[in-house]
């Protein structure tokens, strides 16, 4: 199965360059349909004028984003050199704490397809 998601330009470019190996999402209904071995097509936001495809190699569910960030290298998240506070703030700029409480967090380990 192929999934489609939007991705902000900065993170899109990091995946494209092979520097981001884990995508972070809510573990909502849409993401619960993703399986290891499936393909995700990322469209570069906001224009959606460029796409890349990745294969899902591992899925890990966490109750909170912070517990995810305590277990995954910031380098693999495309955030080398960041501090935990910045990771949490950036995440809550995208997802609310209410959404996190309702769905939990999902780490999607990916491999870029050429």
User: What does pLDDT average to in each consecutive run of 10 residues of the chain (114 residues)?
Assistant: 93 96 97 98 94 98 98 96 96 97 98 92
Taking the model in full, what pTM does it have? 0.95
Helix (H, G, I), strand (E, B) or coil at 5: strand
pLDDT score at 13: 97
Q: 69 and 54 in contact (C-beta within 8 Å)?
A: no
Give the domains, in start order, of the chain with CATH numbers. 2-113 (2.30.130.30)
The tokens describing 15, both together, are: 């995946």
pLDDT score at 114: 78
The tokens describing 27, both together, are: 């573990």
């Amino acid at each position: 199965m192929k999934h489609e998601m939007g991705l902000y330009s900065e993170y899109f470019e990091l995946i494209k360059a092979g520097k981001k190996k884990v995508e972070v999402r809510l573990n909502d209904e849409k993401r619960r349909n993703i399986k290891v071995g499936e393909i995700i097509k990322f469209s570069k936001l906001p224009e959606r004028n460029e796409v890349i495809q990745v294969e899902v190699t591992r899925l890990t569910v966490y109750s909170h984003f912070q517990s995810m960030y305590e277990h995954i290298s910031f380098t693999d998240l495309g955030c080398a050199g960041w501090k935990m506070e910045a990771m949490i703030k950036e995440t809550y700029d995208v997802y609310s704490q209410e959404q996190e409480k309702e769905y939990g967090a999902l780490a999607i380990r990916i491999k870029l397809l050429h």
